[in-house]
């Protein structure tokens, strides 16, 4: 036991116990969302919740690449939208066998007579499922490799990701015949024979979103704990130092960017299912920046913060824009200012530091900060216990 303590800092037993506790909390929240919340909310609100939970998945992705690795991506809208399109293409190919045209309706409208070759594989659902994750991941991996290999960092990386959003936005916007241009893909009918828009199916998508979110959270937890996660923080804080220790940061950054892109793709697909539309609109720069704001509000480098930020900001947005459609943008700007000025580490970051101290002082347990060497000192400890005030 003592030897273990010296090696790991924390015994395997306590580590296992806190992991179990965390898993228990996550499962409890997931069950609450799946079983209880549908009883409390109207179908409309539940659908909103489902969409926002999908957005929380992309927030986790942003947190990985920005919060932990320190690379501010302003182009996650592209990965999100690509995931959405991949699934939407499969949905658009669910055409009843007796229909007059075996093409998605917009194609006939623009005079396309034969299904473009790259639409063909999307007849297959397994291919689509892989494509939802892999197309954004491969794109992110490729972009990342080219950018990181040339040691492009900081604001230049952000600018390049923005440039990517503009390129993709214009491409999808301009391709009426291939992707229905600016209108995007919508009017989905069935998936696996179930009507996409029926409340029952929507509830299934809602549950699936929660399962994916839990899986994404578990993945991010696993990645960010342990040596790999510590290395990401090291790259964020002092990249060139990691080189002199023998690490090549390029590979690490490429992998994390690709995973982050895949999460965005998954989020896009689940979002598309629940909104019933995907269009180039979600590739505009404002949306990608909004994603970053969610993470900043919730707390960078805290995975829970990313999820919480995505939910809070989006619920605030939908509530406020319903009641006061004019002021939402002011509110969003103000929120960002407050976070930057007063809560630089976000809600969760604040709770973990100042919030905890405040809570202690409210309960009258003011903790005196001392030097750790004093805390460790057996003699001081003895005096504390045996010599009263």
Residues in contact with another protein by the rule CB under 8 A: 6-10, 223, 226-228, 230-231, 233-234, 237-238, 240-248, 251-252, 255, 372-373, 376
Nearer to another protein, 9 or 364 (CB): 9
Measured from the CB atom, the residue of 177 and 236 that comes closer to another protein is 236
Asked whether the beta carbons of 119 and 89 are under 8 A apart, the reply is: yes
* Smallest distance from another protein to CB 252, Å: 6
DSSP symbol at 364:
T
At closest approach, how far in Å is the CB of 307 from another protein? Answer: 22
Smallest separation, CB 151 to another protein (Å): 10
Least distance CB 31 / another protein (angstroms) = 30
CA distance linking residue 184 with residue 49, whole number of Å: 23
- DSSP-derived secondary structure for 51-114: HHHHHHHHHHHHIIIIIIT----S-HHHHHHHHHHHHHHHHHT---TT-S-SS-HHHHHTT--S
Are 25 and 284 in contact by the 8 Å Cβ rule? The answer is no
Residues 6+ apart with CB under 8 A from 38: 46, 203, 206
Closest CA to 89 of 107, 111, 110: 107
Nearer to another protein by Cβ, of 177 and 352: the residue is 352
Identify the bridge partners of residue 190 per DSSP, sorted by sequence position. 195
The least distance separating another protein from the CB of residue 382, rounded to whole angstroms, comes to 16
Q: By C-beta, is 227 or 363 nearer to another protein?
A: 227
Nearer to another protein, 103 or 143 (CB): 143
């Amino acid at each position: 036991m003592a030897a273990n303590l010296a090696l790991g800092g924390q015994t395997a037993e306590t580590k296992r116990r806190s992991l179990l506790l965390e898993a228990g909390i996550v499962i409890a929240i997931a069950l609450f969302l799946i079983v209880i919340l549908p009883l409390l909310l109207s179908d409309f609100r539940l659908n909103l919740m489902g969409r926002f939970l999908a957005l929380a998945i992309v927030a986790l992705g942003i947190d990985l690449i920005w919060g932990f690795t320190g690379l501010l991506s302003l182009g996650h809208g592209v990965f999100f939208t690509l995931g959405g399109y991949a699934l939407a293409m499969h949905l658009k190919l669910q055409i009843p066998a007796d229909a007059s045209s075996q093409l998605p309706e917009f194609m006939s409208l623009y005079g396309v007579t034969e299904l473009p070759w790259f639409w063909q594989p999307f007849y297959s659902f397994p291919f689509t499922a892989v494509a939802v994750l892999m197309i954004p991941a491969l794109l992110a991996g490729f972009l990342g490799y080219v950018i990181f290999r040339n040691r492009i960092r900081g604001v230049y990386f952000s600018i390049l990701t923005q440039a990517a959003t503009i390129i993709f936005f214009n491409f999808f916007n301009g391709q009426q015949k291939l992707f229905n241009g600016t209108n995007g893909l919508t009017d989905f009918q069935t998936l696996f024979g179930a009507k996409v828009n029926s409340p029952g199916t929507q509830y299934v998508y809602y549950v699936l979103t929660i399962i994916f979110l839990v899986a994404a959270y578990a993945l991010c937890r696993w990645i960010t704990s342990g040596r790999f996660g510590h290395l990401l923080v090291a790259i964020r804080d002092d990249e060139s130092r990691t080189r002199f220790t023998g690490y090549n940061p390029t590979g690490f950054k490429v992998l994390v960017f690709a995973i982050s892109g895949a999460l965005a793709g998954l989020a896009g697909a689940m979002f598309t299912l629940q909104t019933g539309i995907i269009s180039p609109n979600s590739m505009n720069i404002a949306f990608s920046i909004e994603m970053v704001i969610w993470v900043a509000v919730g707390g960078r480098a805290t995975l829970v913060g990313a999820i919480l930020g995505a939910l809070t900001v989006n619920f605030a947005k939908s509530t406020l824009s319903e009641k006061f459609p004019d002021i939402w943008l002011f509110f969003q700007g103000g929120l960002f200012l407050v976070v930057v000025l007063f809560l630089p580490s976000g809600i969760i970051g604040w709770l973990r530091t100042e919030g905890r101290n405040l809570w202690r002082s409210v309960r009258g347990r003011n903790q005196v900060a001392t030097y750790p060497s004093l805390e460790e000192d057996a003699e001081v400890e003895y005096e504390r216990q045996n010599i009263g005030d």
